[in-house]
Structures are given as structure tokens and as C-alpha cells.
Amino acid sequence: MKKLSVLFALAATPAFAAGDIPFFSLFNTDFVVLIAFLAFVGILLVAKVPGLLGGQLDARAEGIRSELDEARALREEAQTLLASYERKQEEVKEQADRIVAHAKMEAEEAAELAKEELKASIARRLQSAEDQIASAQAAAVKEVRDRAVSVAVGAAGDLFVKNMTAAEGNAMIDAAIAEAEQRLN
């Protein structure tokens, strides 16, 4: 089929259609170009250019194949390295989670301890306040008693002085002093 189409292509040349110059003549440029092309192809075949080109293409293909193998090896190495980093990242994440959990636990313990210390401090302050109130109350009661005793002694003294004789007054003063000494001790 190809030969037939080449034959029709050669038959349909303008020089052949004109009819004045035969196709197989050196005056026909198409024929001369055909001969030159065939001679060129023949020289290429004799010089084994297709074999050289094939060898170069094979060498190039082998180079590309080796580059692909190297690229595969680098890819596998990169995947191994990536997996290693992902494992390390996971380990670091787990460690960070443990640190955060430990910190939360310590914070909760510190909060509990602070609550206990606050409760103890409040209890101490309440006890101190109650002690101060009791002390102030005792001091106030003592002061009231002392003043009552002073007023009573003063009033009794005035009464006894008006109603008593000197001998009776001396005896009562001695008795009051003795009684005051007993109460104070």
C-alpha cells in the first residue's frame, strides 16, 4: 500500500504532468532531489548512523533508567526518613501530652493544697478573733466588777461612816480588806 502511494506521488509530479521533461532525466529537479535523498540515506546506512543513533538512544535510555532507579532509591529513603520523623513527632506529641497531664495534676494538687491552707488560715484567724473577743469580754467584765466593787466600797464606806462609830468602822475595814484579799487570790 505504501509503495503504491509512493508511486502515485511520484507519478503526480508537475514535471511529469507537463509532459515535456521525462521524470527519469537529470534535467528534472524532482528526480535529482530523489537521487540525492536516496544517496544521503544510503550514506547514512553505510556509515551505520542508525546503529549509532540507536546506541546513543540506548545509552540515553540506560542513563534515564539509572536516574529513575536513583530517584526511586531517594524516594524510598525519603519515605523512610519521613516515617522516622512521623514516629518521632508522635513520640514528642505523646510526651507533650504526658507533660500537660502531669502539669494539670500538679496544678490540681496545688489548688487543693491552697484550699486546705486557706481553710486552716481562716480557722486560725477565727480562733484568734474568738480569743481576742473572749479576752476583751473578760477585761470588760473585770473592769465592770472592779468599778462595781469601787462604787460599792465607796457607797458602803459613806454609809458606814454616817451610821457607824469609829470602832465599828475600823473592824469593818479590816474585815473588808481580808475579804478582798481572799477574793483577789
Look at the block and give the residue holding cell 500537660.
Answer: 100
| pLDDT tens-digit readout, 63-115 | 999 999 999 999 999 999 999 999 999 999 999 999 999 999 999 999 999 99
Q: CA distances (Å), 160 to each of 39, 137, 176, 177, in order?
A: 171, 33, 12, 15
Q: Structure pTM?
A: 0.38
**Longest Cα–Cα distance in the chain:** 193
**How many Å apart are CA 149 and CA 155, to the nearest integer?**
10
pLDDT computed for residue 9 by the predictor: 53
| pLDDT tens-digit readout, 162-180 | 776 777 777 778 888 888 8
Report residue 61's pLDDT band, with 50, 70 and 90 as the boundaries: very high
Would you kindly state where each structural domain of the chain is located, as residue ranges? 2-90
Look at the block and give the residue holding cell 544517496.
Answer: 39
Distance from chain centroid for Cα 98: 13
- 22 contacts 28 by C-beta, under 8 angstroms: yes
